[in-house]
Amino acid sequence: MNLVVSIGNTTVRFAAMEGLKCRVLQAYSHTNLYNEDEVQTLVYKFGREFQKTCAIASVVPSLHARVDEIVTKYFNLKVKYLSSADIHLMKIFYYPQDSLGPDRLAGVLGLRAEYGYPSISVDCGTATTINVLDRNGDFVGGTIAPGVGMSFQALSSRTALLPQVSSNKVAGFIGQSTEQAIVCGVYWQSWFGLIETIKNISAIFGKLENVVFTGGNALNFSKLIREAGFKIDEQLVLKGLSRFLHYHDECY
């Protein structure tokens, strides 16, 4: 069993992974990470039967010290932060390589291990990223755009009169109030932007093995995703971290 941690902009997820299977999962807000009672619950829930190293993908460096403390003190494990420098099982066509976000890299590793290639992952989080594996299973880049929540916030913070909206309920294509118009605009432009981008990437590689959505905001599009013949995998990043640990242990 492997312990892996995904440190995102909104939540921190701890997972006990057996191969690509998630056996136990616990998510915390950044604030709750400093609550000792919450940490004790985590330790009780997970136990201590893990391999020697914990793999972490992080986009929030300010939380590293706290996560390191939890992993080393309570689980007695070494810490390994995922970076492109550690990846040798595929080529990474991204420059400079160290600018590739660890969350994107972990998601691509999960995509490669579980779904084959050529494939695309779409991570709908604070930002929405598209990540592409070519016919050789190599990472060839992708796109980064504002996520749904960030788009709502930008409209409110950068205008004088538009309200803050957080609803993800869309009724049709035409909003009949300002709030509805914002929801429709953000939701449908996000969705059709993704579809058009996926279509154009598909034209480059021909038939794709899979298009896999992940991230907290993917559930906003769940019906559309399934209707389009795509997949949803909320644990793609965790699977990638588990695959990385398996590969890392083989090499070291």
Tell me the pLDDT of the chain (252 aa) as tens digits: 899 999 999 999 999 999 999 999 999 999 999 999 999 999 999 987 898 899 999 999 999 999 999 999 999 999 999 999 989 889 999 999 999 999 999 999 999 999 999 999 999 999 999 999 999 999 999 999 999 999 999 999 999 999 998 766 777 899 999 999 999 999 999 999 999 999 999 999 888 889 999 999 998 899 999 999 999 999 999 999 999 998 765 543
CA distance 130 to 211: 10
b (16+ CB within 10 A) / e for 75-93: bebebbbbebeebeebebe
Q: Domain-by-domain residue ranges, the chain?
A: 2-81, 85-240
Give the count of beta carbons closer than 10 Å to the beta carbon of residue 24: 15
Give bridge partners of residue 16 from the DSSP assignment.
3, 24
Which string of b and e fits 155-186 if b means at least 16 CB within 10 Å?
Answer: beeeeeebeebeeeebeeeebeeeebebbbbb
Q: What confidence score (pLDDT) does residue 252 get?
A: 38
User: Is the pTM value of this prediction over 0.75?
Assistant: yes
Q: Is 86 a catalytic residue?
A: no
What are 157's two structure tokens?
Answer: 């913070």
Asked if 2-81 and 85-240 have one fold, the answer is yes
Residue of 37, 68, 98, 103 with catalytic role: 103
The correct answer on CATH 1.10.1040.50 for the domain covering 85-240 is: no
**Of the options 3.40.50.1110, 3.20.20.70, 3.30.70.270, 3.30.420.40, the CATH number for the domain spanning 2-81:** 3.30.420.40
Backbone angles phi, psi at 232, to 5 degrees: -120, 130
Question: Which among 90, 111, 102 is positioned nearest to 231, based on CA atoms?
Answer: 111
Contact (CB, 8 A) for 135 and 118: yes
Q: In 59-186, which ranges are E strands?
A: 78-81, 119-124, 127-133, 139-146
